[in-house]
Amino acid sequence: MTVLIDAIEPFIVDLPTIRPHRLSMTTMAYQTMVIVRVRCSDGLEGIGEATTIGGLSYGAESPEAIHSAIENYLAPLLVGQPADNPNRLRSRMQRYVRANSFAKSALETALLDAQGQRLGVPVSSLLGGAQNERLAVLWTLASGNAVTDIAEAERLLADDRHRQFKLKIGGREVRDDVEHVISIQQGLPDGVSLRVDVNQAWSESQAKPAIAVLQNAGIDLIEQPTPGRQMHALTRLSQRFEIALMADEAVADTFDGMRLWRSGFSGAIALKIAKAGGPIGALELAHAVEAVGLDLYGGTMLEGTIGTAAAVHAWSTLRECRWGTEMFGPLLLTEDIVTESLHYCAGGVTVPDAPGLGVSIDEDKLDYFRRDGGPRRTTSIGSELKGRRHAV
């Protein structure tokens, strides 16, 4: 018998972080994520996650908007549909709902999770098969204080948890940011890789002298120094300097990646499953830009374990992520809603090999941290929507 999607339930969770996480556009004191459950007629349940950085401070989708898009638009498209073909369901979402890539990513992840469990294989196998059992993972230093950041890096190096670091800058005057980076670089041991993420905070004229100083100081890479929409500014900077530049906010999907490459950009692309609408779209982008010679980096929206596991499965199928990955999101949390964490050690993370994502929800923690509070609801969105599904 055909396995159908019986119900879809999204909910918002707020989780505390180990410290404030300072970016150019906001400072995060906690992490908010949308978790989605997809229940199928064969009794299996897939889970997915959509997480933003600082709500609308970073991008166009807030947690509340993601929840609404799933509940009111995407769930009616999927409930009652065959559950065993995530690719066809992905196409259905793309056809009838514009944009909303974060919401689609959460659902695509849940569909892949359920199908992996159904077939008894990890999600990486559904995406082509893992080529790597472990992925290098850097740590982002984002307290905003040089002494604190250096001490944090030294602890992580001593524990052999991370060997590469990235600094979040862009919230101060350009000169102050550059001095902050150099002071931290000088405080770290020789041979430690240090990159910076400007988060679109500089104009092209500001970026030129700043990049020159950072290049001379031995910084390895600079991520998105200029606004994402100013594609040609990023391209000109990549052609002007030897230091590697990375596009993040400038690239969401394959169309963006090819447009940036055709403009003459040479550097790296930050992959994010949320920006691309899910793991499948992120890998389409990866394969396209890799084919034309651009380097890859496994990026993050600081997801918890569910979203991080989905990205780890995707990045494990790539031949090489030249600049490693940033899949440390769960380590930034003091609490999570899963029964077992991912395994981090020796500067990297192990790719789960259990069926599906290889992670499951801790019901007690979910009940405690979900935003609506109280006992978990037993009614499902799927049952409410079956009678009023959109005619599509």
| Phi–psi pair at 320, nearest 5 degrees | -155, 135
Residues 309 and 352 sit within 8 Å (Cβ to Cβ) = yes
**Three-class secondary structure of residue 311 per DSSP:** helix
Pair 382, 334 in one domain: no
Provide the sign of the torsion angle of the four alpha carbons 370, 334, 145, 170, taken in this order: negative
Cα gap 228→224, rounded to integer Å:
7
pLDDT for 53? 83
Low-confidence spans in the chain with pLDDT less than 50: 374-392
Residue 374 burial (CB count, 10 A):
7
- Containing domain of residue 332, as a range? 128-350
Residue at 43 is within a domain: yes
Longest dimension (CA), the chain: 65
Contacts of 58 (CB under 8 A, 6+ apart): 23, 25, 26, 52
pLDDT for 27? 67
Pair 71, 85 in one domain: yes
Cα gap 366→10, rounded to integer Å:
12
pLDDT for 376? 39
For residue 333, what is the domain's CATH number?
Answer: 3.20.20.120
Two tokens at 241?
């300097």
Residue at 392 is within a domain: no
Provide the whole-model pTM: 0.92
Pair 74, 100 in one domain: yes
First-to-last alpha carbon distance for the chain, in angstroms, is: 24
Pair 120, 12 in one domain: yes
pLDDT for 23? 63
pLDDT for 24? 57
By DSSP bridging, strand 164-168 and strand 268-271 are unpaired
Q: What residues are labeled active site?
A: 168, 326
For residue 97, what is the domain's CATH number?
Answer: 3.30.390.10
Number of domains present in the structure of the chain: 2
Pair 318, 376 in one domain: no
Residue at 69 is within a domain: yes
Q: What is the pLDDT of residues 27-44, one digit of tens each?
A: 667 899 999 999 999 999
Q: What is the pLDDT of residues 51-79, one digit of tens each?
A: 988 778 777 899 999 999 999 999 999 99
Which amino acid is residue 54, in one-letter code? G
| Phi–psi pair at 86, nearest 5 degrees | -55, -30
